[in-house]
Structure 1
Amino acid sequence: MSLDLHFILFLLLRMAIAAAFVVSASVITERSGPVIGALVATLPVSAGPSYVFLAIDHDAAFIAQGALSSLPVNAATIFMALTYVVLAQRHSLLVSCGSAFAVWIAIASVIRMFDWSLTAGLAVNLIAFGICIPLLAGYRDVKMPLVTRRWYDIPMRAALVATLVAIVVSTSSWVGPRISGIIALYPVVFSSMMVILHPRIGGPPTAAVLANSAWGLLGFGMAIAVVHVGATSFGSAIGLSLALATCIAWNLTLWWNGRRKRRAA
């Protein structure tokens, strides 16, 4: 088998695996309501496979450096969510999603201009979430209508994440860890939920899923920091495993705390 054919087949396999993760997570999100859906949506179902495949091709130093670039991008994602949530209450899919995407691209473009340290990345996240979480709180409690899936939903989601993985894997060798880390954090799950759910169930219910995701996304940011520290100290495999464990533990804690409050009420 030629080297080019081997690369193409391996790339297609990676794309298929990543797409399966995202499709499964998004289906669970639709069926479980905004609270559980938000917790699932903030698991590393998109960035996780991208980073695993980067770790296969590159050393731990590359992964650690990429995580430093990914960390402030997490702040861009929460501002993207806030933009969509506010606009989706009264505006169309085109206005709401277009503005949200523009905000993410603008912030990510600024982020790529700087070399980030762990302290700076954490500080940006704390400031961003300190601003956005209180602003999103009023949009969380919306009843989730029944979602009727259409034939193109799953292929569309699979195509989105597969394209992301293809871009990350194919370009990582020549764009370097900084750009790879930014691309890997593009919010595929959020994007697919906005595009698919908004025209079907309306802006406010779709916005409720993103509004409920704020605390989960904060934990995701901590997991990115864990990737950097873990990859630097113990290697890529341990760093990524610790990050996954951080995300799961954080979201389970959020779920348990929310359940406890509902019982008390």
Structure 2
Amino acid sequence: MSPELAFLLTLLLRMAITAAFVVTASVITERSGPVIGALVATLPISAGPSYVFLALDHDAAFIAEGALASLPINAATILLGLTYVVLAQRHNAVVSCLGAVAVWIALASIIRSVHWTLAGGLAVNVIAFAICVPLLRRFRHVRMPLITRRWYDIPLRASLVATLVATVVTASGWVGPKVSGIIALFPVVFTSMMLILHPRIGGPATAAVIANSAGGLMGLGIAIAMINVAASRFGSTIGLGIALAICVSWNLGLWWWSRRKLARVEP
């Protein structure tokens, strides 16, 4: 088998595996309401596989440096979420999503031009969440309407995720770890949810899912920082494993806390 054919087959396999994982998670999101949906959406279901595939092709130093670039991008994602939530109250899916993505791209361009340290990446996350979390609070509680699935939903989600994986894998060899880390954190799950859910259940209900994602994104930021620290010391496998454990444990803790608060409210 030629090297070109082997690369193509491997790339297609990676795209299919990741797309299947993300589509499954997004279906769970639709059926579970905004709180559980947000916790599922903020698991590393697109960034995680992208980093795993990067780790298969690059050394631990590459992964650690990529995580350093991804950390401030997590702050850009919460600002993307805030932009969408505000726009979705009055505008359609295309305007709201494009406006949010435009903010993300602008912030990513600025982030790319800065030489980041771990402390700097953590600081910009603290500032972004301190601004966004209070502003998002009033948009979090919206009743989720019944969702009727359309024929193109799963193909659209799968194609969005597969495109991201293909871009990260093929581009990482020549763009370097910094841009690879930025691309890996592109919020493909959020944008696919915006484009698919908004036309069916309305902007406010879709915005409620995004608004509830702030807590999960905090855990994702901590996990990314841990990749930078652990990958450089213990290797990519241990670093990514610790990051995954942090994300899952953090979101389970948020779920437990939300259930406890609900139990206190109910008579």
The TM-score normalised by the length of structure 1 is 0.99
What is the RMSD computed on CA atoms of the aligned residues?
A: 0.6
1:16 is paired with a residue of what secondary structure? helix
What residue is the counterpart of 2:220 in the other structure?
220
User: What is the distance in 2 between the residues matched to 1:19 and 1:94?
Assistant: 22
**Alpha-carbon displacement from aligned partner over 1:35-74 (angstroms, at most 9, x marks no partner):** 0000000000000000000000000000000000000000
1:233 Cα deviation (Å)? 1.0
Tell me the residue number matched to 1:162: 162
The corresponding residue for 2:83 is 83
User: Structure 2 counterpart of 1:140, which letter?
Assistant: R
Cα deviation 1:152-179 (Å, max 9, x = unaligned)? 1001100001000001000101100000
| Mapping for residues 226-241 of structure 1, pairs under 5 Å | 226-241=226-241
CA distance in 2, matches of 1:63, 1:116: 15
Q: Within 1, Cα distance between the matches of 2:139 and 2:10?
A: 42
Structure-to-structure mapping, 1:2-17, within 5 angstroms: 2-17=2-17
- In the TM superposition, residue 94 of structure 1 has moved relative to its aligned partner by 2.2
User: What does residue 68 of structure 1 align with?
Assistant: 68
Task: Give deviations 1:132-171, integer Å, cap 9, x for gaps.
Answer: 0000000000000011111110011000010000010001
Q: For residue 145 of structure 1, give the secondary structure of its aligned residue in structure 2.
A: coil
Task: Give the aligned residue type for 1:263.
Answer: A
> 5+ unaligned residues in a row in structure 1: which ranges?
none
CA distance in 2, matches of 1:20, 1:234: 30
CA distance in 2, matches of 1:65, 1:220: 17
Aligned to 2:254: 254
Tell me the number of residue pairs that the alignment of Structure 1 and Structure 2 aligns.
265
- Between the aligned partners of 2:211 and 2:75, the Cα distance in structure 1 is 14
CA–CA distance in 2 between the matches of 1:223 and 1:20?
23
Alignment of 1:34-53 (within 5 A): 34-53=34-53
**Alignment correspondent of 2:119:** 119
Residue number in structure 2 paired with 1:264: 264
Report deviation, 1:118: 0.5
**1:200 and 2:200 matched:** yes
Partners of 1:210 and 1:227 lie apart in 2 by 25
**Structure 2 counterpart of 1:98:** 98
Report the Cα distance in structure 2 between the residues aligned to 1:155 and 1:198, rounded to whole angstroms: 17
Residue 63 of structure 2 aligns to which amino acid in structure 1? Answer: I
Matched, 1:21 2:21: yes
**2:33 — aligned with what?**
33
Q: Which amino acid aligns with 1:41?
A: A
Counterpart in the other structure of 1:153: 153
C-alpha distance in 2 between matches for 1:257 and 1:167? 37
Q: Give 2:54's aligned residue.
A: 54
Mapped partners of 2:134, 2:231: distance in 1: 33
Residue in 1 that maps onto 2:138:
138
Letter in 1 for 2:199: P
Identity within the alignment, %: 72
Query: Deviation of residue 3 (structure 1)?
Result: 0.3
> Moved runs in structure 1, 4+ residues, more than 6 A?
none
2 CA distance for matches of 1:127 and 1:152?
39
Q: Deviations over 1:170-218 (max 9, x none)?
A: 0101100000000000001000000001011100000000000011111
Hey, what's the Cα distance between the residues in 1 that align with 2:115 and 2:65?
10
**Structure 1 Cα separation of the partners of residues 92 and 250 of structure 2:** 33
